[in-house]
Amino acid sequence: MKSSALDAPGANGPLTLSGPVPLPERILHTGDQISAPQATDKTVTPVADDLDFDDIILVFPPESGLKPLYVMYRSPRNMPGTVSGKGQNVGNNWMGGASTGDGAPVPSQIADKLRGKTFGSFDSFRRAFWKAVADDSALSKQFSEADINQMKAGRAPTADFLESVGKRVKIELHHEKEISQGGAVMDVDNIKALTPKNHIETHKGK
């Protein structure tokens, strides 16, 4: 007996649709027996303890229809501020204190020169600070010609080799009361000059 399309089930009656055949939620591997890594829902990346983040990306649930949002926090270091503080009298070996204890204080003559001035950021203040040191006849005598040229360009002088750590080879300005704890950014009485080695040791002790 011959068959035709009219003999197919449902040709002369209502066609019943049972819906698609459900598929596995995830296909991990097909083919030979070579093991394949399975997908994971989360990726965890170790982060160093000393990294400081000032921005984030907010990712919303897919069903919200919202695009990821980039958010940046404004650090007090990058905000305008006015210099305050009196500084301290320093001797003929000002940088000698940078490698020990709390570090070398801001000289009073530098405080007098910068006090009341407003800078757009701490980086701008730091450049003005080292330029002022280079222009001071008493303080500049304590530095080499190479360091004076560096300071005239707004860059810190070089620390002694034994006080350097890796690529950190310059004298660094340290806030005694951390900015994150409410310390004043441009108060010279809250700022000390430290070698990289002493700076690292100072933070270890906190």
| Mean pLDDT of the 122-144 span | 97
Domains of the chain: 79-204 (3.90.540.10)
pLDDT in tens, 81-92: 999 999 999 989
User: What per-residue confidence (pLDDT) applies to 33?
Assistant: 53
pLDDT-derived band at 204, boundaries 50, 70, 90: confident
Task: Write down the catalytic residue from 29, 126, 168, 199.
Answer: 199
Catalytic residue at 175? yes
User: What per-residue confidence (pLDDT) applies to 115?
Assistant: 98
- Whether 168 has a pLDDT exceeding 60, the answer reads yes
Catalytic residue at 77? yes
Catalytic residue at 203? yes
As a whole number of angstroms, the distance between CA 124 and CA 154 comes to: 9
Q: How many CB atoms lie within 10 A of CB 103?
A: 22
pLDDT in tens, 3-17: 554 555 554 555 444
- Whether 18 has a pLDDT exceeding 60, the answer reads no
Q: How many CB atoms lie within 10 A of CB 22?
A: 6
What is the CA 34 to chain-centroid distance, rounded?
Answer: 43
Catalytic residue at 29? no
Both tokens of residue 15?
């066609």
Burial 39-55 (b: 16+ CB within 10 A, else e): eeeeeeeeeeeeeeeee
Task: Write down the catalytic residue from 29, 115, 127, 203.
Answer: 203
User: What per-residue confidence (pLDDT) applies to 121?
Assistant: 95
pLDDT in tens, 46-82: 433 333 445 678 788 988 888 888 776 667 888 999 9
Please tell me whether the overall predicted TM-score, pTM, comes out greater than 0.85 for this model. no
Those residues whose C-beta lies under 8 Å from the C-beta of residue 9, and which sit 6 or more positions away, are none
Give the residue with greater pLDDT, 20 vs 80: 80
Burial 140-167 (b: 16+ CB within 10 A, else e): eebbeeebbebbeeebbbbbeeebeeee
Task: Write down the catalytic residue from 77, 127, 155, 168.
Answer: 77
